[in-house]
C-alpha cells in the first residue's frame, strides 16, 4: 500500500481528487473533532451568511442578459432579439419563474453549495425551458468510461439524467464537481451560530450570570432547606426580571459564569461577519458591517470597485461562458454569444455622467443625441453631427472651412 492509499484509507477521498464514482463537494475529513456540519437551511439562519448569498444573488440577477450575434457588415456584436434564448430571458425561462427569479436561484446554489444545476428541455433542437434543480438533491457520478450521469432525488424517487440535459455550473474543485462553501466553511458558520445561540441565552436570562451561594457556618442545611433555598433564589439565575435579591447575614453569592464582556460576545459576532465574507468572497462592508468605517466614503467606493473587478465580473463572465457552452450549439458559438450588461450597475452619478458626456461631445467622439439617448431623453434635430470644441460647430463644416482656409493661404 503506497502513501496515497494509506492517506485515503485514514482520511477518506479528497473532494479535489479525480476519481470515478460518486463525486463529493464536501471535505473528506474534519479540520478538528468538535467541528459541526450545518445544512444549508441552518447556515442561512446566520444573518451574515444570508446577507452574503443574497448580495451575490441580487447583484447578478440585476444584470440584463443579452444574446448577441456578430454582424460582419458592421464588424461588431449586435442584439439578436429573434434568438430563442433571448425570448426565454426576456420573459420566462420556465413555467414558474421570471428571469430575475431564475438567476437568483442559480446564484443561490452556486455561491452557497459550489454547484448549480439547470434542467434543459428541448423541442426540435431548440431550448424551450430552463429549470433550476436544487443542488442539495443532486448526485453526480463519473462512470468508468468518463461519462457524467446526474441523479436527482425528489419525493424519494431517483431519476438519472444525461449530461447533455443538464447545465452544470461549478466553483473550483475537480473537473466534475465544485467545492461547497457551506461545507468547507462549517467552522466559520458554526462559530457564528454559536455566538447567536449564546446571545439568545444571555438575553433570555436577562444577562444574569450563574453562581453559587456560600454560608460561613458549621451548621448543615437539611434537604428541605436546600430545596427551599433553591426555589427562593431561582429567579437570580433563571428569571427574566431584574429583581433585587437580599441575603441574610453570613450568606454570600459568588459568580461562576462569564458575562458577555468576558467572553467578548460582540467582538465574536463582528469577526464572524468578516470570516463568512472570506468564504463567500465578498467584503464585509457589503454585509452591512460598518464597524470599521464611519460612513460611505471614497475608501468604501474603492473596496466595492475592487470586488467588482476581482470577484463579481469574473464570476459573471464564467456564467456567461458556461451558457455559451451548454446553451448554444457548437456550430453557432463563433457567431453567437451571451453577454451580461454591466452598464446600469456601473452607472455614474448624474454629475459625473454630465461631465463625461460633455468631454465626449467636445472631443468629437459622441454626438449630442447619443448623449441624450443614454440619459433617457428624446433626440433633437441637428444633434446627430459630431462636434469639435472650437465653437461647437459640426466637425464636417469645421474641416471644410479649414480646407478652404488652407487653399486661400496657398494662393497667397
Residue 80's pLDDT is what?
87
Report CA-CA distances (Å) from 83 to 67, 127, 235.
Answer: 7, 10, 71
User: Which triple of cell numbers denotes residue 60?
Assistant: 447578478
In the block, cell 479528497 appears at: 14
The whole-model pTM stands at 0.71
d(CA 112, CA 217): 61
Helix or strand holding residue 112 (H, E)? helix 99-113
d(CA 322, CA 226): 71
User: Which triple of cell numbers denotes residue 262?
Assistant: 468576558
Residue 94's pLDDT is what?
93
* SS3 label, residue 3: helix
Contacts of 208 (CB under 8 A, 6+ apart): 236, 237, 239
Give one DSSP letter per residue of 256-281, joined into a string: -SPPTTTTTHHHHHHHHHHHHHHHHT
d(CA 86, CA 27): 39
d(CA 116, CA 322): 11
In the block, cell 453559587 appears at: 212
Mode of pairing for the β-strands spanning 76-79 and 65-71: antiparallel
Give one DSSP letter per residue of 183-226, joined into a string: HHTHHHHHHHHHHHHHHHHHHHTTTPPPEEEEE-SS----HHHH
Report CA-CA distances (Å) from 346 to 210, 310, 319, 366.
Answer: 54, 15, 19, 19
d(CA 116, CA 118): 7
pLDDT block averages, 10 residues each, the chain of length 412: 44 70 80 75 87 92 90 85 90 92 95 94 91 93 91 91 93 88 85 73 59 65 74 60 55 59 61 85 81 57 85 93 91 88 73 79 85 82 80 76 71 43
Residue 256 contacts residue 208 (beta carbons within 8 Å): no
Residue 169's pLDDT is what?
94
Residue 206 contacts residue 240 (beta carbons within 8 Å): yes
Residue 60's pLDDT is what?
93
Residue 7's pLDDT is what?
42
Task: Report which DSSP code applies to 331.
Answer: G
Kindly tell me the sign of the dihedral angle through the C-alpha atoms of 32, 33, 37, 42.
negative
d(CA 326, CA 85): 12
Residue 254's pLDDT is what?
65
Domain boundaries, the chain: 15-207+259-347, 208-257, 350-411
Amino acid at each position: 500500500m503506497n502513501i496515497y492509499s494509506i492517506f485515503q484509507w485514514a482520511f477518506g477521498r479528497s473532494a479535489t481528487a479525480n476519481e470515478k464514482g460518486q463525486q463529493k463537494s464536501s471535505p473528506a475529513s474534519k479540520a478538528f473533532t468538535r467541528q459541526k456540519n450545518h445544512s444549508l437551511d441552518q447556515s442561512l439562519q446566520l444573518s451574515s451568511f444570508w446577507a452574503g448569498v443574497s448580495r451575490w444573488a441580487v447583484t447578478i440577477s440585476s444584470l440584463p442578459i443579452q444574446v448577441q450575434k456578430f454582424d460582419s457588415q458592421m464588424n461588431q456584436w449586435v442584439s439578436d432579439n429573434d434568438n430563442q434564448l433571448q425570448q426565454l430571458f426576456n420573459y420566462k425561462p420556465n413555467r414558474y419563474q421570471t428571469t430575475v427569479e431564475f438567476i437568483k436561484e442559480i446564484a443561490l446554489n452556486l455561491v452557497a453549495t459550489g454547484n448549480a444545476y439547470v434542467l434543459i428541455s428541448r423541442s426540435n433542437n431548440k431550448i424551450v425551458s430552463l429549470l433550476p434543480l436544487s443542488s442539495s438533491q443532486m448526485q453526480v457520478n463519473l462512470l468508468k468510461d468518463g461519462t457524467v450521469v446526474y441523479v436527482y432525488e425528489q419525493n424519494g424517487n431517483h431519476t438519472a439524467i444525461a449530461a447533455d440535459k443538464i447545465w452544470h455550473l461549478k466553483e473550483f474543485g475537480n473537473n466534475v464537481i465544485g467545492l461547497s462553501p457551506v461545507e468547507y466553511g462549517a467552522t466559520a458558520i458554526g462559530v457564528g451560530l454559536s455566538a447567536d445561540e449564546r446571545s439568545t441565552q444571555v438575553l433570555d436570562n436577562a444577562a444574569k450570570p450563574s453562581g453559587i451561594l456560600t454560608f460561613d457556618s458549621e451548621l448543615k442545611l437539611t434537604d428541605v432547606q436546600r430545596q427551599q433555598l433553591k426555589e427562593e433564589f431561582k429567579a437570580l439565575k433563571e428569571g427574566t426580571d431584574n429583581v433585587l435579591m437580599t441575603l441574610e447575614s453570613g450568606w454570600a453569592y459568588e459568580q461562576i459564569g462569564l458575562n458577555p464582556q468576558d467572553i467578548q460576545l460582540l467582538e465574536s459576532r463582528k469577526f464572524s461577519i468578516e470570516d463568512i465574507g472570506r468564504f463567500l468572497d465578498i467584503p464585509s462592508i457589503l454585509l452591512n458591517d460598518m464597524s470599521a468605517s464611519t460612513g460611505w466614503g471614497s475608501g468604501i467606493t474603492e473596496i466595492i470597485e475592487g470586488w467588482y473587478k476581482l470577484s463579481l465580473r469574473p464570476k459573471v463572465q464564467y456564467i456567461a461562458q458556461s451558457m455559451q457552452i451548454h446553451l448554444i450549439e457548437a456550430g453557432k458559438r463563433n457567431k453567437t454569444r451571451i453577454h451580461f450588461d454591466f452598464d446600469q450597475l456601473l452607472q455614474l452619478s448624474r454629475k459625473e455622467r454630465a461631465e463625461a458626456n460633455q468631454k465626449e461631445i467636445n472631443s468629437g467622439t459622441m454626438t449630442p443625441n447619443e448623449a441624450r439617448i443614454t440619459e433617457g431623453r428624446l433626440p433633437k434635430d441637428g444633434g446627430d453631427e459630431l462636434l469639435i470644441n472650437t465653437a461647437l460647430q459640426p466637425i464636417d463644416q469645421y474641416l471644410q472651412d479649414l480646407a478652404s482656409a488652407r487653399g486661400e493661404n496657398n494662393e497667397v
